[in-house]
Amino acid sequence: MPGSGSCVSAFLNELNPKRVELLQQLVPDAKVFGLLLNPRNPDAERQSLETQKAASTMGRNLVVATASSDGELSPAFAMLA
């Protein structure tokens, strides 16, 4: 289906606020949440912005780390820790 990839991507981006809400329910005392993104993903910036907005609305801070290869995962998780 032509264009179906963009519909799926838009739908997944709309889940970001729900993910933050779920994190808030699971860890109510957490003031900071982490987000790991692949910067090669065309929607990475949008995901970051929408998740930041959701976290801010809920009074939480968001730390964003990026990794686009296996070698970048450990440093990204270390930064989030």
d(CA 35, CA 46): 13
Q: Please report, rounded to a whole number, the percentage of residues in the chain having pLDDT higher than 70.
A: 84
The set of residues, in sequence order, having a beta carbon less than 8 Å from that of 75 and lying 6+ positions away, is 67
Number of Cβ within a 10 Å radius of residue 50: 17
For residue 4, name the pLDDT band (cuts at 50, 70, 90). very low
pLDDT at 10 > cutoff 90: no
Q: What is the pLDDT of residues 30-67, one digit of tens each?
A: 999 999 999 999 989 999 999 999 999 999 999 999 99
Contact (Cβ atoms closer than 8 angstroms) between residue 16 and residue 47: yes
For residue 11, name the pLDDT band (cuts at 50, 70, 90). low
Helix 16-26 to helix 44-57 angle (10° resolution) is 40
pLDDT at 2 > cutoff 90: no
Ordered by start, the domain boundaries in the chain are 4-80
The architecture CATH gives domain 4-80: 3-Layer(aba) Sandwich (3.40)
pLDDT at 5 > cutoff 90: no
The set of residues, in sequence order, having a beta carbon less than 8 Å from that of 31 and lying 6+ positions away, is 59, 60, 61
